[in-house]
Structure 1
Amino acid sequence: MAGELIIGIDVGTTAVKVGLLDQTGAVLDHVSQSYPTQRGEAGIVEQDAEHWLGPVETAFAKFSRQLSSVAAIGMCSQVSTHLFVDKDGNPLAPAILWQDGRAVAEAKELDAAVSQEQRIAWWGAPMPIDASHVLSRMLWMARHRPDIWDKTALVMLPKDYCILKLTGELATDGLSNIGLVDQKLKLIPEVLDLVPGAADRVVPVRDVVSIVGQVRSGPAAGIPVANGTMDGWTGLVGCGATKPGTTAYLSGTSEILGISSPTLTPTEGVIVVPECEGILIHAGPTQSGGAAKLWYGELTDQSPTEMAAAAATSDFSKPAPIFIPHLQGERAPIWKAHTRGVFLGLDQTTNKADMARSIYEGVAFSVRMALQAVEQSAGVSSGCINCGGGGFQSDIWNQIRANVLGRELQRVAVTDTGLLGAAGLASTAIGLHNSVSSAFEQIVRFDKTYQPDMAMNKRYDALFDIYVDAISANEMLNSRFLDVANSSLREK
């Protein structure tokens, strides 16, 4: 029957994933293509935007026989990744990734210009302006690359750039522009005025479940494209966070905690995503989850499977070194771009199994820290957490997470919940479902449950206290280290 399938597209940090889904949420076919990320000095992290569209074209070709049955295409992408384009929509420089910390000084200046009262009035929470905020990047570009800034017509998110290239239409959404919009998803003029010229370079905001256009050419020509939103939100609703009181945990390059709750207690370090489609999500995105695992695996020449197998052989009767996974700073709940990673407690008996386990535990501790803040903001503490994303494919890591958090974890059956989220929004946009909530009630299913070992949880309680203290103790040393490192760069 024509119109029975949906294509979901997730422009992620390490790869573009494209899935062909039916109306039950089952993935019938799938394409995933990775691409490189360039990392440079002074916190620079960049990608070539031209890599984002190739996998989409590959998927359209692979799905060509089923395209006549596709009702719509849904999109989501990494958030706080910014692309500066000219009047013709062509990139003027590589995209600045969400992990990029070059604009620390600009962020500090802008953040100091906003009062706590303004933050609460605008955003409903005392959110900071950090180095990943679009205004920080705009101000950095205006100061350090005025040649690019003067030619910049728009500053776009990856999803919005792909929509422009596919449909020729300009559209973004309020959820993806956290920090620029108020609690009604409207742009805030006073915020945009913090950087001269910012208001002129913002993409028009449209609803997440609106159809923004149709694919202009190729085998998918004529298929409607829904606006969609950021991968964090789509991934969380893809874990079932549409239902009030639900706690969801998304694991990919970073770890994201989200709780759906109409209750709001302003809490330092927590992002309160404006209410959308009747859903109010309190979120705590960390900076490094899968990124820490991949870093360690590449450093030690281990695949994810080998690393998981090694961690499983560690002696859990004794502590592994405590790992602080701040490899590129940290976001929720401390929001400090200058903090850096630490291994605490190394000795001559430490082996590869202990180190692999240490990575898993350190990421889990960072999640526990974020979860505490998010629960305070939402007024919800759930005994069961819905989990999804590519980072939940390791049984040993999942069990460690359950033990560290002291909560039951139930895993979503679809590996890439961003695809599920994008598809659910698209199906709602074309009327296959009456609401976003009803769409996800139908398509979210679970395949495995992990029960916490409360004896291990008690041991982790003591280690977590040390983890928190270690972050504070190392803050001054991290700042001094970066001062020395930056001085060395200036002397080159």
Structure 2
Amino acid sequence: MNAPRVLAIDQGTSGTTCLVVGVDGQIHGRAHVDVAVRYPRDGWVEQDAEELWRSVLAAARAAIDDAGGPAPVAIGITNQRETLVVFERDGLRPVAPAIVWQCRRSADLCAAHRDRGEEPSLRERTGLLLDPYFSATKMEWLLADQPALRARAERGDLCGGTVDTWLVARLSGGAALVTDASNASRTLLYDLVRGDFDDELCATFTVPPALLAEVRASAARVAVTDPDAFLGLRLPISGMAGDQQASLFGQACLQPGMSKNTYGTGSFVLVNTGTSVPSPVHGLLGTVAWRLGEQDTFALEGSIFVTGAGLSWLRDGLGLIAAADEAGPLFDSVPDTNGCIFIPALVGLGAPYWDPAARGALLGLSAGVTRAHVVRAVVEAMAYRTRDVIEAVERGAGIRLEELRIDGGASVMDGLCQFQADLLGLPVTRAGSAETTALGAAMLAAVGEDLIEAPTGVEAAYRPGRCFNPAHPGERPGEQYQAWKEAVERVRSHQKSQKAR
């Protein structure tokens, strides 16, 4: 008998990917539709919320057609996190462009909150930092910029939420205005202990509580699609999570101490910390990984800004490579970097440093350094930055990782994977599929519909790829990592404002 199928919707910044997935983890159909990103001013990043919705309709239709056979029995959603969509509760019309997670327009508001000494309390309650990355100051900025919207928000006419809220509203024809705990925990408005949006946190950012959606579980039936709105189909929506949390779930990192890293444009290291709220750890974020039933599972997260973006810089900025896929062969063509170290602070340094004023550098250059050495240095930096975060997590959580599961575009490089394993002294397991984020959404929906159980059913559906074992298990090279740390210190700005983080 064929396993029941689930439609997974992965709405990302650059496009929407939909998969039709069996609850056994088998992918039967897929489709992708690009979406545009606008940059109307320096530091501003926007999208058209209606275009996001249209891309979901198109990709879902194409994926279902591609799969053929039995129709999906449920929907799971994963989404770009922190992006804000504000829309009318009646009519579902967006009242402003979607403010994308990358947007920096609320930087001055973050600085003002920090100057008032609010960050330590916010760190304690939300697990996050005061940064434009998160949704609350986006809401604060929009309601200050357009006072008429504030009045409507206070009356309860509007709903403001992350992309999951927008998609469920459209899929259900407006019947459900919900978010899941993982997305809610990325707003600066969600109290990790209470497990809900908090009125005091809303007051801090002058956000009317009436603007917000209802927080629900990540694996539960939260709505049913309206056939008139969604391809003539009536399907339960039973899984929701932010993209990095969905990847953690899709990688079957369901037990405390299990971890994954996604090597994309940047990198996101997440470590499952179990059901206790993590204490604020210097340079890392505390977040909800998912909510199953009434229980939240938490994670520590380290955000690395430049991973694949470093290869893009080599291609577009320096012209050292013509395509990103040249990096792997060039990495393998030399045994080391010939003393060259690349610090990937092209847009500052993320976790665990959080130093936006740091700037990138190529150090240790000599006449013997070739194009291949520079490319290898850029790739090695991905592994060094990952070790930075892993060691911060281990110190903060008091654990020692036993394995790192990886995915993302750069993970196709065998040389990087082996270097990472050797640098960490632990096995690095590459995902068997590049679509772990969408697979995580599918597995959440399968759990939400009781088609499988967690953790056993999710673990059974997990399909690992190649495992890279370290040359010296349990040992981490000290001398070369110390050279890396010294190089990082040479580009740090050491801003006083960063020390409280």
Q: Which residue number corresponds to residue 181 of structure 1?
A: 190
Q: Which residue number corresponds to residue 140 of structure 1?
A: 141
How far apart, CA to CA, are the structure 1 residues paired with 2:109 and 2:166?
25
SS at match of 2:270: strand
The answer on whether the counterparts of 2:46 and 2:100 sit within 8 Å (CA) in structure 1 is yes
SS at match of 1:210: strand
What RMSD, in angstroms, separates the aligned Cα atoms of the two structures? 3.0
1:233 equivalenced with 2:245 (yes/no): yes
The amino acid that maps onto 2:485 is: D
Structure 2 gaps, min length 5:
none
SS at match of 2:20: strand
How far the C-alpha of 1:441 sits from its partner, in A, is: 1.6
Matches within 5 A, 1:20-419: 20-39=20-39, 41-62=41-62, 63-64=64-65, 66=68, 68-87=70-89, 88-113=91-116, 118-119=121-122, 122-123=125-126, 125=127, 127-146=128-147, 153-168=158-173, 169-178=176-185, 179-183=188-192, 184-217=194-227, 218-219=230-231, 221-262=233-274, 264-274=278-288, 276-277=291-292, 279-299=297-317, 300=319, 302-316=322-336, 318-324=338-344, 326-347=345-366, 349-419=368-438
The amino acid that maps onto 2:34 is: S
How far apart, CA to CA, are the structure 2 residues paired with 1:337 and 1:85?
32
How far apart, CA to CA, are the structure 1 residues paired with 2:258 and 2:26?
22
1:422 equivalenced with 2:441 (yes/no): yes
How far the C-alpha of 1:115 sits from its partner, in A, is: 5.0
SS at match of 2:215: coil
The answer on whether the counterparts of 2:7 and 2:442 sit within 8 Å (CA) in structure 1 is yes
The amino acid that maps onto 2:258 is: T
Higher mean C-alpha deviation, range 404-413 or range 422-431: 404-413
The answer on whether the counterparts of 2:266 and 2:307 sit within 8 Å (CA) in structure 1 is yes
How far apart, CA to CA, are the structure 1 residues paired with 2:373 and 2:382?
14
The amino acid that maps onto 2:458 is: F
Identity %: 21
How far apart, CA to CA, are the structure 2 residues paired with 1:223 and 1:68?
13
- So what's the TM-score if we normalise by structure 2? 0.85
Shift in CA distance, 54/394, structure 1 to aligned 2, threshold 3 Å:
farther
The answer on whether the counterparts of 2:15 and 2:35 sit within 8 Å (CA) in structure 1 is yes
Higher mean C-alpha deviation, range 282-291 or range 131-140: 282-291
How far apart, CA to CA, are the structure 2 residues paired with 1:103 and 1:317?
40
How far apart, CA to CA, are the structure 2 residues paired with 1:100 and 1:366?
23
The answer on whether the counterparts of 1:323 and 1:361 sit within 8 Å (CA) in structure 2 is no
How far apart, CA to CA, are the structure 1 residues paired with 2:93 and 2:363?
46
Give the helix-richer structure, 1 or 2. 1
Q: Which residue number corresponds to residue 456 of structure 2?
A: 438
The answer on whether the counterparts of 1:361 and 1:404 sit within 8 Å (CA) in structure 2 is no
How far the C-alpha of 1:157 sits from its partner, in A, is: 1.4
Higher mean C-alpha deviation, range 66-75 or range 337-346: 337-346
Higher mean C-alpha deviation, range 258-267 or range 227-236: 258-267
How far apart, CA to CA, are the structure 2 residues paired with 1:146 and 1:354?
55
How far the C-alpha of 1:50 sits from its partner, in A, is: 3.4
How far the C-alpha of 1:227 sits from its partner, in A, is: 4.5
How far apart, CA to CA, are the structure 2 residues paired with 1:84 and 1:101?
18
The amino acid that maps onto 1:289 is: T
- So what's the TM-score if we normalise by structure 1? 0.86
How far apart, CA to CA, are the structure 1 residues paired with 2:33 and 2:347?
24
SS at match of 2:33: strand
The answer on whether the counterparts of 2:124 and 2:279 sit within 8 Å (CA) in structure 1 is no
How far apart, CA to CA, are the structure 2 residues paired with 1:209 and 1:139?
30
Shift in CA distance, 303/117, structure 1 to aligned 2, threshold 3 Å:
closer
The answer on whether the counterparts of 2:77 and 2:164 sit within 8 Å (CA) in structure 1 is yes
Structure 1 gaps, min length 5:
480-492
Shift in CA distance, 222/403, structure 1 to aligned 2, threshold 3 Å:
same
Report the number of matched residues: 474
How far apart, CA to CA, are the structure 2 residues paired with 1:330 and 1:33?
31
